[in-house]
């Protein structure tokens, strides 16, 4: 099979779906690997690196799609790019299918099959395929560094001859993968860390990392599915905001990480909460691309509101492209090896990982989120 890796074209995207080490392993397994010229440059992998790994570098972007049996990408191709793919070809990428009907329609029209990296089930045997977690882990780390770089003070306590500097206070919304890494990073830098999460079972994890858990009593309006929060009532969010509000007012840094798959991100930091914060404090909204957890945050922009800096970077893993590409390439490689060999795909339609991640099969919608 010919595996093609096009260059990412999304705004501010620096990652690549396959790194040279993974390309070398794919070639060793009998696959033919074609990389679009320059696809790895923003991740600091040269065309020569891929050639040395046994891959072919293709200058013609259209040929990358038209010749491929399998297309591996970080972000999904555009509908026009999908139209170039031959009937029966296979796409593996992030798709966010439930909120991208035009993309799903393009896959149907082209008669291709498409697997979505964000739909891989969160089960133990799929951990090495979990690109959401690998990328969120890096994002949580980088988010703290971005805030530390923006704020006009240090994070740890420091005793000097001129006096003692108090440690910064960091409030983190959400103790998922990104939130937990943010807690660990902020603690390593010496900050006081307080954490809010609507799932009471996260309390132990937060405390094990040295964070203080802001406990909001849950209720039956919180709906969980596959490790994700699938829904929560407006009444509960209001109760959470009231309790957490005083912690936000005292914070130097606030980081929000809450997402609900297939839906707009919940509002956690209101306009009033922003106004209550100290002059010079910093907020980073990690959910800004899905509508934002912070009222007033703007995608791909850093703004100042009443003296509070609000960072709205929409693709934080892309700011660490070497590591992010390396981890993502291993995620997508593991999924590919699970689904296929050099001779073709297994199409085990009732197998849990296949069933969970397959969105379109031979031009027919099959995933519950789009069917």
Residues in the chain: 371
Give the mean pLDDT per block of 10 residues along the chain (371 residues): 97 97 98 98 98 98 96 97 97 95 97 97 95 97 98 96 97 96 98 92 94 78 55 73 90 94 86 96 96 95 96 97 98 98 95 97 95 80
Is 228 a residue of the active site? Answer: yes
**List 25, 130, 197, 252, catalytic entry:** 130
User: Is the CB of residue 226 less than 8 Å from the CB of residue 122?
Assistant: yes
**List 67, 105, 199, 228, catalytic entry:** 228
CATH 3.40.50.10490 given to domain 2-119+320-364: no
CA distance 224 to 149: 35
Give span(s): CATH 3.40.50.720, the chain.
2-119+320-364, 138-319
Is 65 a residue of the active site? Answer: no
Is 49 a residue of the active site? Answer: no
pLDDT value of residue 223 = 55
Cβ count within 10 A of residue 47: 18
**List 67, 118, 122, 263, catalytic entry:** 122
Residue 166 neighbours by CB under 8 Å, 6+ apart: 157
User: Is the CB of residue 222 less than 8 Å from the CB of residue 231?
Assistant: yes
Q: How far is CA 72 from CA 111, 129, 169, 215, 314, in A?
A: 17, 14, 42, 42, 22
CA distance 275 to 200: 28
Instruction: Compute the C-alpha angle 361/364/367, nearest 5°.
Output: 70
> How far apart are the two ends of the chain, measured CA to CA in Å?
29
pLDDT value of residue 219 = 58
pLDDT value of residue 220 = 58
**List 133, 134, 135, 297, catalytic entry:** 133
- pTM summary value: 0.92
CA distance 64 to 186: 43
Is 127 a residue of the active site? Answer: yes
pLDDT digits (tens, 9 = 90+) for 8-36: 999 999 999 999 999 999 999 999 999 99
**List 127, 208, 233, 341, catalytic entry:** 127
CA distance 220 to 129: 32
Least Cα distance to 333 among 19, 9, 1 occurs for 19
Topology, domain 138-319: Rossmann fold (3.40.50)
pLDDT value of residue 240 = 76
Please, how many CA atoms are within 13 Å of residue 296, restricted to the half-sphere of its CB? Answer: 18
pLDDT value of residue 225 = 55
pLDDT digits (tens, 9 = 90+) for 104-119: 999 999 999 999 999 9
Q: Helices 321-339 and 131-150 meet at what angle, rounded to 10?
A: 170
């Amino acid at each position: 099979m010919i595996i093609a890796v096009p260059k990412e074209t999304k705004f501010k995207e620096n990652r690549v779906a396959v790194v040279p080490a993974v390309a070398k392993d794919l070639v060793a397994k009998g696959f033919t690997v074609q990389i679009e010229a320059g696809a790895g440059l923003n991740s600091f992998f040269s065309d020569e690196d891929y050639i040395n790994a046994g891959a072919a570098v293709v200058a013609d972007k259209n040929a990358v799609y038209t010749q491929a049996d399998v297309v591996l990408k970080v972000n999904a191709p555009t509908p026009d790019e999908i139209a170039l793919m031959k009937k029966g070809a296979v796409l593996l990428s992030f798709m966010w299918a439930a909120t991208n009907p035009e993309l799903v329609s393009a896959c149907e029209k082209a008669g291709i099959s498409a697997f979505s990296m964000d739909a891989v089930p969160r089960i133990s045997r799929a951990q090495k395929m979990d690109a959401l977690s690998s990328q969120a882990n890096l994002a949580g780390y980088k988010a703290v560094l971005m805030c530390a770089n923006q704020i006009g003070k240090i994070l740890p306590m420091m005793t000097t001859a001129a006096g003692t500097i108090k440690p910064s206070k960091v409030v983190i919304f959400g103790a998922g993968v990104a939130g937990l890494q943010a807690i660990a990073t902020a603690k390593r830098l010496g900050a006081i860390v307080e954490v809010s999460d609507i799932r009471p079972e996260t309390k132990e994890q937060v405390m094990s990392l040295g964070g203080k858990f802001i406990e909001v009593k849950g209720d039956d309006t919180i709906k969980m599915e596959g490790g994700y929060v699938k829904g929560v009532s407006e009444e509960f969010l209001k109760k959470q905001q009231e309790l957490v509000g005083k912690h936000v007012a005292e914070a130097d840094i606030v980081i929000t990480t809450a997402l609900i798959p297939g839906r707009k991100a919940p509002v956690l930091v209101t306009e009033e909460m922003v106004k209550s914060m100290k002059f010079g404090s910093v907020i980073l909204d990690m959910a800004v691309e899905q509508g934002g957890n912070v009222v007033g945050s703007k995608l791909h922009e850093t703004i100042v509101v009443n003296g509070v800096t609000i960072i709205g970077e929409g693709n934080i893993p892309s700011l660490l492209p070497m590591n992010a590409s390396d981890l993502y390439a291993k995620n997508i490689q593991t999924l590919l090896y699970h689904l296929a060999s050099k001779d073709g795909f297994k199409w085990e339609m009732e197998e849990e990982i296949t069933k969970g991640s397959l969105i379109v099969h031979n031009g027919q919608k099959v995933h519950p989120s789009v069917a």
